[in-house]
Each structure stands twice: as C-alpha cells, then as structure tokens.
Amino acid sequence: MLAPHVDLTEDELRAIKEELPGILRKFDKHRSNLIPLLQAVQERFRYLPPLAMQEVARYLDISLSEVYGVATFYNQFRFYPPGRHEIKVCMGTACHVAGGDIILENFERRLGIKAGQTTPDREYSIERVACVGCCALAPVAVVDDNVVGHMQPSKVEGLFVQFEIQRQQEERARVEKASA
C-alpha cells in the first residue's frame, strides 16, 4: 500500500519531527506495541501522518507494509488530518431508517466531499459512523462533539451559517487583537 499524500505545513512537519521521538520512547521496541503506539501517535496528531508511520516501522524494526496492514485493518485509525470541524453522521439502524443517508448526502453535497474525506482547506471533515447511542433523536449528526438530533436537510445549511458567523467573529477578534 502506498502512503497517502498529505501536504503538511511547516509547523506540522516540525511538530512531528520534534514530538514523535518522545512518543516512541514511551514504548518498548516490540511489535506487540504497534497498536498502542499508533493510538498514541493518532491521539497527538489527530491522524497517522505517513512520516510518523515510517518512523514507527523503523523504531519497531518491522516493515512499513506491516504497519499499514495493521493500521488499515482497524477503522479507528485515520490517514488524513480531520477538519477543524468534524461532522459525524450516524448510520445506526434508527438513524438510517429515519433518513440518515439523506442527511449524509446533504453534508457531502454542501462540502463537495464524500464521507471519510476532508475539505482541501482542512476546515471540514465528514465521517459515516455506526450508532452513537442517541436513537430517540434519530437521525443524528455529531458536529464538533455536539449531538444534533432530529436532523433535517434544512438544519445542515443552518449549521454552516453558524460556522460562518463563528469564523467572522474569530476574524474580527484577530483583527482587533492585532490592532491593539
């Protein structure tokens, strides 16, 4: 399997190079530590950067293909950085029956990406997830760790209006801080 292509910013590259050795040192150099090591890397960087996976393989003295094989087997691992705003659409039975697939399609259409992807500006990512345990609120989306129940297509657009208002407020605050 080829490593996914991810354009890293200089800050991200620097963080990986500086912080990864400390993460690796917390684990014995034994292949049985592969999954916990990958979990620690993802916890810190929010995904598994290809450079980090190469270093994990080198540290444990195993092949890169073995690292990828394990990482791709488990759906807990992600290979692309999530967006600043993470959107998870429940596809459990209750949500699916209540139109979860329609809600997912609305998010995908609005953002121009598919489930499992992140927008090029890394602002948004969409995931299709199994039951989130809020069946009485079906269909459900989890937006930035906030449960939004009884989703409707009109609520999808409303969420993006809220994101835009938040972005404008943050920009105003940055400008005011810079001019102070």
Q: Total structural domains in the chain?
A: 2
Residue numbers belonging to the annotated binding site for [2Fe-2S] cluster = 90, 95, 131, 135
Mean pLDDT of the chain: 92
pLDDT at residue number 12: 86
Residue numbers belonging to the annotated binding site = 90, 95, 131, 135
Is residue 4 one of the residues assigned to a domain?
no
pLDDT band at 76 (very low <50, low <70, confident <90, very high): confident
**Final residue in a domain of this structure, among 73, 103, 125:** 73
Is residue 80 one of the residues assigned to a domain?
no
Identify the CA nearest to 34 among candidates 9, 79, 70, 65.
Answer: 70
Q: What is the C-alpha separation between 134 and 94, in angstroms, rounded?
A: 9
Q: What is the C-alpha separation between 1 and 65, in angstroms, rounded?
A: 7
Q: Render pLDDT for 126-177 as a digit per residue (tens, 0 to 9).
A: 999 999 999 999 999 999 989 999 999 999 999 999 999 998 999 999 998 8
Tell me the CATH number at 90: 3.40.30.10
Tell me the CATH number at 35: 1.10.10
pTM of the shown model: 0.73
Is residue 159 one of the residues assigned to a domain?
yes
Is residue 1 one of the residues assigned to a domain?
no
What are the backbone angles phi and psi of residue 171, rounded to the nearest 5°? -65, -45
Task: Determine what percent of the chain is predicted with pLDDT higher than 70.
Answer: 97
* Residue 129, both tokens: 């997830």
pLDDT at residue number 180: 77
